[in-house]
Amino acid sequence: MRASFGAPLAGLGLMLAAFTLAYFLASAGSGPLTGRLGTSDLLLGGCALSTAAWLSIALAPQWWLVPMVSVLAGAGSGLIDASVNAHITLNRGVRYMGWLHAAWAAGAALGPPVVVLSLAVTGSWRAGFAAMGAAFLVIGLLVSARRRDWIAAAVGPTAPAPIEAPGRTNYRRAMLILAGLFLVAAGLEATAGDWAYTQLTLGRAVSNGLAGWGVTLFWAGLAAGRVALGLVGSHVQPVRLLDAGIGISVLATLAFWLAPPLVSALIALPMLGVALSVIFPLLLSLTPSRVGAGMTAHAVGYGLAAGTIGGGGVPATVGLALQSLGLSTLGPLLSVLAMVLALLHAISCRDSRRSAQPGLGGPAL
């Protein structure tokens, strides 16, 4: 893209910044929009924006249009993610959430081959982006034809929500803690995926091939864990699965830090990927039990917005730390992130138990 447009090397950063800012604003505002428009209309709007954005990028004659249109792409993705995740949270179980996020992992894996195929067949990246726009158009048409599937708004089967509002202050605290969980979980996932290869090769003298396998197994573990959640997630209490995922993530980050290099690359990293795979879907599935059904759409939107900040901001901040303190600090930093995640989870669980007791912030469940 840069070569075809004659764009600056930093152009990708501008494109991603526009996308991320629009995604953040759209997902954060999705709660009120869901109440006004309904899930199906919000999802259709997201598909329409995404279709227009990717087709426009595919046809863009000049570079300056790409970052501008990326705003539409980010807004469309934010609306789609927030509306679908909120609907699944309220109307489906943990297994559906596992399959939803496994599909995300599959889509992330398919993106590069689509562009490679586009380059091989047409000699240009544009056909790949046009294919993405066409895919969003098809999905939008399917959603329009099946509007009734997106109408129901029952309390999700994962865990019962409070019968009454536990109070404005408690809601604010619960949503703030949830946003912190999403931010740290996304930050830990992105930091491990982005920096592990560099740390293993330059900081611990692991060969390029073995380090590459370690990172590949990390992402494979992330996808496999979500497929497993889709297959067997309904057989174990979600909060117990979340306990296990966060606990194993702490152990895995410590192992990545303290174990010999080969163990860090080929055992600790994949174990961390599997552990992290269930955290994001389970946090979404448990949201109604934390804030109630009426506030779930708002909480999901804020949580995804916080995850966007974590997925971009935490790896960038860690990169600055690695540059200043050395690559050997990646292990300790990952361990600290995992421990902060465990602490926030413990606080969230304690608050949820308190709100379930009469006289302590909410009615008995």
Please write the tens of the pLDDT for every residue from 163-211. 344 455 577 788 889 889 999 999 999 999 889 999 999 999 999 889 9
Q: Are 338 and 249 in contact (CB under 8 A)?
A: yes
**Per-residue pLDDT at 155 exceeds 50:** no
Could you give the CA distance from residue 175 to residue 294 in angstroms, rounded to a whole number?
13
b/e code 67-97 from CB counts within 10 Å (16+ = b): bebbbbbbbbbbbbbbbbbbbbbbbbbbbbb
Collapsing DSSP to helix, strand or coil, 29 comes out as coil
> Residue 31's Cα: distance from chain center in Å?
17
pLDDT (mean) for 93-115: 84
Nearest to 98 by CA among 230, 256, 221, 240: 230
pTM: 0.78
Could you give the CA distance from residue 86 to residue 284 in angstroms, rounded to a whole number?
8
For 238-286, what is each residue's pLDDT tens digit? 889 999 999 999 999 999 999 999 999 999 999 999 999 999 889 988 8
Q: What's the confidence (pLDDT) of residue 82?
A: 87
Q: What's the confidence (pLDDT) of residue 170?
A: 75
Q: What's the confidence (pLDDT) of residue 13?
A: 74
**Per-residue pLDDT at 19 exceeds 80:** yes
| pLDDT classification of 159: cutoffs 50, 70, 90 | very low
For 47-75, what is each residue's pLDDT tens digit? 999 999 999 999 999 999 999 999 999 99
Q: What's the confidence (pLDDT) of residue 66?
A: 92
Nearest to 188 by CA among 311, 58, 33, 362: 311
For 327-351, what is each residue's pLDDT tens digit? 899 999 999 999 999 999 999 888 7
User: DSSP string of 239-289?
Assistant: HHHHHHHHHHHHHHHHHHHHS-HHHIIIIIHHHHHHHHHTHHHHHHHTHHH
Percent of the chain with pLDDT over 70: 92
| pLDDT classification of 32: cutoffs 50, 70, 90 | confident
pLDDT (mean) for 103-127: 86
| pLDDT classification of 357: cutoffs 50, 70, 90 | low
Domain locations in the chain? 2-150, 168-355
Could you give the CA distance from residue 142 to residue 54 in angstroms, rounded to a whole number?
19
| pLDDT classification of 116: cutoffs 50, 70, 90 | confident
Q: What's the confidence (pLDDT) of residue 34?
A: 79
Could you give the CA distance from residue 46 to residue 34 in angstroms, rounded to a whole number?
12
As a CATH number, domain 2-150 is: 1.20.1250.20
Could you give the CA distance from residue 148 to residue 153 in angstroms, rounded to a whole number?
11
**Per-residue pLDDT at 161 exceeds 50:** no
Nearest to 288 by CA among 152, 150, 163: 163
**Per-residue pLDDT at 361 exceeds 50:** no
| pLDDT classification of 89: cutoffs 50, 70, 90 | confident
Given this chain, do its domains 2-150 and 168-355 carry the same CATH topology?
A: yes
Q: Higher pLDDT residue, 287 or 259?
A: 259
DSSP 156: P
Could you give the CA distance from residue 160 to residue 117 in angstroms, rounded to a whole number?
47
pLDDT (mean) for 112-138: 91
Q: What's the confidence (pLDDT) of residue 157?
A: 44
Could you give the CA distance from residue 241 to residue 256 in angstroms, rounded to a whole number?
22
Mean pLDDT over the full length of the chain:
85
Percent of the chain with pLDDT over 90: 39
> Residue 198's Cα: distance from chain center in Å?
23
**Per-residue pLDDT at 9 exceeds 50:** yes
Collapsing DSSP to helix, strand or coil, 356 comes out as coil
pLDDT (mean) for 91-111: 84
As a CATH number, domain 168-355 is: 1.20.1250.20
